[in-house]
A and B are shown apart, each in its own frame.
Chain A
């Protein structure tokens, strides 16, 4: 697996993802993208669903991409890349192309968990050789922080806001990583922008594995999570250390936990720094935090059982 030095060496050789994008200061998305692109040496072609990453990196005539990159629409990053990958296979077979190329798709949680889920599921089942990366910041950030099925329970969003009666989103988030794993594809990884070596290792495996692979990456949104930009990486780290977002992989069907927190922190430590959870800390909502803690504990136990 490539060390940070190796990643740096690759970026020195070629900056696949450049500065000069308009993502918010401290946004987690470009941190993930750079690391993923640096995790491989060879050429990659990427599709990108509509969302913050796409909008802020491709404002005509500017671009942050030094790799072939295509945006089609919001819900079809997987279908689009499956078209490009099929084109590649077909043309390679006919001798019209000789290079080895890897294929990536980037999408947000909205573009994956919700509107793009069918497109992803279909592409996984068809077995295209590509890596699909979900950059999960827990809401539709680009359109103004509306809830998605990835929004954690208790978070206040603009369509599931905290108010006099409600504390924010009432429902537990969808466990997409496990849903994707149920497609029995060769490689599935759950990673976070707080652990970039781990992300790079998973990306390298995913990209170089034949057939479909999937990465679900926790990515901070300072606006939606309501945190200071400088804390972007640290807060994601809390997500991992509380086991809200365990780092693990499902490699050829086998669950491996790739990072065990030295000490599993109480969920409060993840919730408290983020003002989107502020309502949970009002008197009367103690129970909700307990429920969230129970959900996290239960999921963590299930995961540990799968990994043992």
Chain B
């Protein structure tokens, strides 16, 4: 990072700034902790004339996503932000947004889903959207949340993608804490994101389109296959966008996930979001003790980079997947992906699933160190473990 400004900013502020720099035509959003401040900051930028966007202060998240679909279909660059119950409420339309190929960029400040109602972080909200057809990027810190929001815009609007992108950041841990972040110059961002040129803008009154039609069994399947195709195009596009972004920022993104001290590691943990930061500290400490440990942090969860992750994991001794959400009656969503990535391989690491951090439950360094300790046990029983829960 070279040409930007280092500032101390909260996750809210960096995302709101990314939105300001992207300068969408329309933002439609509804307040919910821990997202609200993103849209509050953005609204202030609008009120101060720092960004030229229409903010639709809708009466619900369902209407937020509905208005976003109307706006994006109209041909406007469109953004929103939400969390938890808000995402759950808009879910019906998240699927529709993906099916209508509207490249809406949305921030999700991860928060546990009710009930019981809880405002703190876990990934149950965004995980509930994992099959909706949106692209999902998970950020570790404010810097990544900022950069992913900018890259998301390009990714969403890529000609062979045209899908909504969800950029998640852990509620409170990232949204509410001040961190050092480096913002790019406004001009650089607007050059990077360019103009959005919709393929079938509804507002093209000369060439009327019928959008969101009724499918019978004779066409629904084909429309779904188109979405499959678009998802398949995401990894290459993401890498390409990263490359262009690196040119601009001096950064070094070059993958669908980050690996930390993985090359010679025997034991690894896989973690999404901010807890990966804690795990890095643990990895460093254990490395000092001479232990061969590492971390894999997926950036892209949808589409899931199964092949690429498999390649990194195959030669490991044991791997722990730490999920921050449940899939009742099954294993954690992240574990299921990794497990399926490794299936069919004869020689592969022992794989374990842990659940942590539900409803904002703290996870400490020593608890992650214990996970690594577990992995060293070749007879470790294969069952779900709940980190820090009173059992």
Residues of A near any B CB (own CB < 8 A) = 43, 45, 47, 54-55, 58-61, 63, 65-73, 75-76, 78-91, 93-94, 96-97, 99, 101, 118-119, 121-123, 125-126
Chain A residues with CB under 8 Å of B53's CB are 90
Question: Are A45's CB and B66's CB within 8 A?
Answer: no
**Min C-beta distance of B293 to chain A, whole Å:** 48
Nearest residue in A to B215 (C-beta to C-beta)? A60
Indicate if B259 sits at the interface (CB-CB under 8 A): no
Question: Are B66's CB and A121's CB within 8 A?
Answer: no
Q: How far is the CA of A118 from the CA of B89 in the complex (A)?
A: 13
Question: Are A87's CB and B76's CB within 8 A?
Answer: yes
Indicate if B113 sits at the interface (CB-CB under 8 A): no
Question: Are B70's CB and A81's CB within 8 A?
Answer: yes
Question: Are B25's CB and A94's CB within 8 A?
Answer: yes
Q: How far is the CA of A207 from the CA of B277 in the complex (A)?
A: 55
Indicate if B326 sits at the interface (CB-CB under 8 A): no
Whether A79 touches B213, Cβ cut-off 8 Å, given contacts A70-B73, A84-B73, is: no
Contact residue among A47, A54, A91, A101 (Cβ-Cβ distance under 8 Å from B70): A47
Question: Are B26's CB and A90's CB within 8 A?
Answer: yes
Question: Are A87's CB and B62's CB within 8 A?
Answer: no
Nearest residue in B to A43 (C-beta to C-beta)? B205
Question: Are A90's CB and B208's CB within 8 A?
Answer: no
Contact residue among A55, A66, A79 (Cβ-Cβ distance under 8 Å from B214): A55
**Min C-beta distance of A65 to chain B, whole Å:** 5
Contact residue among B70, B92, B211 (Cβ-Cβ distance under 8 Å from A87): B70
Indicate if B210 sits at the interface (CB-CB under 8 A): yes
Question: Could you name 10 residue pairs across A and B whose Cβ atoms are closer than 8 Å?
Answer: A54-B214, A60-B216, A60-B223, A70-B212, A71-B211, A72-B69, A72-B212, A79-B58, A80-B67, A119-B60
Chain B residues with CB under 8 Å of A60's CB are 213-216, 219, 223
Indicate if B56 sits at the interface (CB-CB under 8 A): yes
Chain B residues with CB under 8 Å of A73's CB are 66, 92-93, 96
Whether A71 touches B69, Cβ cut-off 8 Å, given contacts A83-B74, A86-B56, A94-B52, is: no
Question: Are B71's CB and A122's CB within 8 A?
Answer: no
Contact residue among B58, B59, B216, B223 (Cβ-Cβ distance under 8 Å from A59): B216
Q: How far is the CA of A119 from the CA of B64 in the complex (A)?
A: 10
Whether A79 touches B202, Cβ cut-off 8 Å, given contacts A87-B76, A91-B25, is: no
Q: How far is the CA of A113 from the CA of B54 in the complex (A)?
A: 28
Question: Are A84's CB and B210's CB within 8 A?
Answer: no
18 further A-B pairs in the complex, CB-CB below 8 A; given A71-B212, A122-B60: A45-B74, A60-B215, A68-B202, A68-B203, A79-B66, A82-B67, A83-B74, A84-B71, A84-B203, A85-B70, A86-B67, A87-B54, A87-B70, A87-B78, A89-B54, A90-B52, A119-B66, A126-B58
Residue of A65, A72, A119, A125 contacting most chain B CB atoms (<10 Å): A72
Question: Are B205's CB and A45's CB within 8 A?
Answer: yes
Question: Are B70's CB and A83's CB within 8 A?
Answer: yes
Q: How far is the CA of A194 from the CA of B289 in the complex (A)?
A: 86
Question: Are B70's CB and A65's CB within 8 A?
Answer: no
**Min C-beta distance of B129 to chain A, whole Å:** 16
Contact residue among B74, B92, B213 (Cβ-Cβ distance under 8 Å from A63): B213
**Min C-beta distance of A55 to chain B, whole Å:** 5
Q: How far is the CA of A241 from the CA of B182 in the complex (A)?
A: 71
Q: How far is the CA of A72 from the CA of B100 in the complex (A)?
A: 9
Chain A residues with CB under 8 Å of B269's CB are none
**Which 10 residue pairs of A and B lie closest in terms of their CB atoms, listed nearest first?**
A83-B70, A122-B59, A83-B67, A87-B76, A79-B66, A76-B66, A79-B63, A87-B74, A83-B71, A43-B205
Question: Are A122's CB and B63's CB within 8 A?
Answer: yes
Chain A residues with CB under 8 Å of B203's CB are 45, 68, 84, 87-88, 91, 97, 99, 101
Nearest residue in A to B64 (C-beta to C-beta)? A79
Chain B residues with CB under 8 Å of A122's CB are 58-60, 63
Nearest residue in B to A67 (C-beta to C-beta)? B208
Chain A residues with CB under 8 Å of B209's CB are 68-69
Find residues 309-325 in chain B having any chain A CB closer than 8 Å to their own CB. none
Find residues 254-294 in chain B having any chain A CB closer than 8 Å to their own CB. none
Question: Are A70's CB and B211's CB within 8 A?
Answer: yes
Contact residue among A47, A58, A86, A99 (Cβ-Cβ distance under 8 Å from B26): A86
1/0 per residue, CB under 8 A from A, across B11-53: the answer is 0000000000000011010000000000000000000000011
Whether A69 touches B66, Cβ cut-off 8 Å, given contacts A43-B205, A79-B58, A90-B26, is: no
Q: How far is the CA of A85 from the CA of B212 in the complex (A)?
A: 17
Question: Are A86's CB and B28's CB within 8 A?
Answer: yes
Question: Are B68's CB and A83's CB within 8 A?
Answer: yes
Question: Are B210's CB and A90's CB within 8 A?
Answer: no
Find residues 200-231 in chain B having any chain A CB closer than 8 Å to their own CB. 202-205, 208-216, 219, 223
Q: How far is the CA of A81 from the CA of B56 in the complex (A)?
A: 12
Find residues 167-210 in chain B having any chain A CB closer than 8 Å to their own CB. 202-205, 208-210
Indicate if B86 sits at the interface (CB-CB under 8 A): no
Q: How far is the CA of A65 from the CA of B74 in the complex (A)?
A: 16
**Min C-beta distance of A66 to chain B, whole Å:** 6
Indicate if B233 sits at the interface (CB-CB under 8 A): no
Contact residue among B56, B62, B211 (Cβ-Cβ distance under 8 Å from A69): B211
Q: How far is the CA of A119 from the CA of B216 in the complex (A)?
A: 28
Q: How far is the CA of A80 from the CA of B65 in the complex (A)?
A: 8
Nearest residue in A to B28 (C-beta to C-beta)? A83
Chain B residues with CB under 8 Å of A70's CB are 69-70, 73, 202, 211-212
Indicate if B132 sits at the interface (CB-CB under 8 A): no
Q: How far is the CA of A193 from the CA of B26 in the complex (A)?
A: 37
Chain A residues with CB under 8 Å of B92's CB are 73
Contact residue among B54, B70, B76 (Cβ-Cβ distance under 8 Å from A72): B70
Indicate if B75 sits at the interface (CB-CB under 8 A): yes
Indicate if B158 sits at the interface (CB-CB under 8 A): no
Nearest residue in A to B70 (C-beta to C-beta)? A83
Chain B residues with CB under 8 Å of A83's CB are 26, 28, 56, 66-74, 78
Q: How far is the CA of A68 from the CA of B25 in the complex (A)?
A: 20
1/0 per residue, CB under 8 A from A, across B368-381: the answer is 00000000000000
Question: Are A71's CB and B213's CB within 8 A?
Answer: yes
Question: Are A87's CB and B66's CB within 8 A?
Answer: no
**Min C-beta distance of B255 to chain A, whole Å:** 35
Nearest residue in B to A123 (C-beta to C-beta)? B63
Nearest residue in B to A125 (C-beta to C-beta)? B59
